Structure formats: structure tokens, C-alpha cells
A and B are shown apart, each in its own frame.
Chain A
Amino acid sequence: SAVISQKPSRDICQRGTSLTIQCQVDSQVTMMFWYRQQPGQSLTLIATANQGSEATYESGFVIDKFPISRPNLTFSTLTVSNMSPEDSSIYLCSVGDSYSGANVLTFGAGSRLTVL
């Protein structure tokens, strides 16, 4: 399966600032997703990162708050904009396994953000 490098692994941020999380994959992948996992909670899909076009956002998530880039098939970024304490979460990049079918997801190690 694909190897995913995600950074930063953790950060402490001030209210009102923005932070960009990077996701690098060691092979070209068709599907890339960004998930959020709030403390002690399940994984919630933020958006599907589409190569060469705008990301597809899930209900409750908007581009102005979570802009996403995907310039090629191995890299994506998620920005958390104008952060508030409610944005304190783990943000996970995931990719679809193109050998077993696009549904099979591998996750990055996650970026743990704490907003003060």
C-alpha cells in the first residue's frame, strides 16, 4: 500500500491564524481525501481532493475555511483558515488503493492541531 508522509505532525496555533498541512504520497494515487477526527470522536470526511480541479466538500465544510490544493497525483495540502479553539483536532490525509479498488483507504499519521 502507499506510504503517506504528513506534516506537521502536531502544532499549537493561535486563534485567528491559518495553518497548512501537507500530504505527500510515495506513488501516484487517484483518490485523496482529508478527514477530521475531533478528540475521542470518529473520522469525518472534510473533502475529496481532486487533481487539477476544485475539491469536493462534504456538508458542513466550505472552501473558505478549508482550502485544499492538489497540484498532482502525489501531493495535496489542506489549510485550516482563521482558526478557533473548535478547530482543535487531528487532520488526516488518506489515499485510495488503486490496486485493490479505490475504496480501500490508507491513512497518514495525522496532524494534531491545538488552537489556543
Chain B
Amino acid sequence: GENVEQHPSTLSVQEGDSAVIKCTYSDSASNYFPWYKQELGKRPQLIIDIRSNVGEKKDQRIAVTLNKTAKHFSLHITETQPEDSAVYFCAASGGGGNKLTFGTGTQLKVEL
């Protein structure tokens, strides 16, 4: 089955700096890669996703890049703000049906 690795597990940045979270996946048949943000005590919320026919996607301060050859994808957050502080999960699906396999999560802390 699919295996998704995520790094780093924790990330501290100063407000206004950029943050990058990286994930790798194992199943070359995977074709959908979402990112979820989970604030403390809340449900995971989809923030951005990318499909395998696209190399990059942006939504305001958030961008995701995908390298299918290397089987890795990354989340980029620019001009970070305190409200970006949360746990971020990457995920992959498509090779084994519609189910998502999640990475281990990254605790992002944006410091003032």
C-alpha cells in the first residue's frame, strides 16, 4: 500500500518568513495530493490540493509543488502569520482507490 513520509515534524518560523513542508510517497499510481491544516482541537481542513497532471498550484500565500518523477511534493507558505500556526498533514491517494494515506504531520509555529 501507499506510504507517505513527511518532514519536518516541527517547524518554527518568524512571522513574515516562509515555511516549507516536504512529503514523499511510495505508490507511483497515486494521482491526488491534498494538504490539510488542523488547528488544536479542530477537524482537519483542506487548504490546497494538486493532481498529478499539474506541477504547481498557488492560492494566495500557499503553494504546492509536485515532482512525480521523484515522488515528492511540498507545501510552501509565504509571509507567515500567527494564525498559520497549526499541524499540517500531507496525503496521497489514487493508487488504491479513493482512500487517502496521510503523512505524520508537521507542527508549524509562527512566532511574533
Task: Please state if B46 and A109 are interface contacts (CB–CB under 8 Å).
Answer: no
Using known A-B contacts A42-B103, A43-B89, determine if residue A103 contacts B43 with beta carbons closer than 8 Å: no
Tally of chain A residues near chain B (CB < 8 A)? 22
Cβ-based interface call for A31 (8 A): yes
Q: Are A106's CB and B104's CB within 8 A? A: no
* Interface range, B side: 20 to 34
In the bound complex, CA of A41 to CA of B104 (Å): 7
Which chain A residue shows the least CB distance to B98? A102
Q: Name which residue of chain A comes closest to B93, CB basis.
A: A103
The reply to whether B46 and A104 form a contact with Cβ atoms under 8 Å apart is yes
| Selected contact of B34 from candidates A31, A102, A103, A110, CB within 8 Å | A103
Per-position binary interface string of chain A over residues 97-116, scored 1 when its CB falls under 8 Å from any chain B CB and 0 otherwise: 00001111111111000000
B101's nearest neighbour on chain A, judged by CB, is: A45
Task: Say whether A48 faces chain B, with CB atoms less than 8 Å apart.
Answer: yes
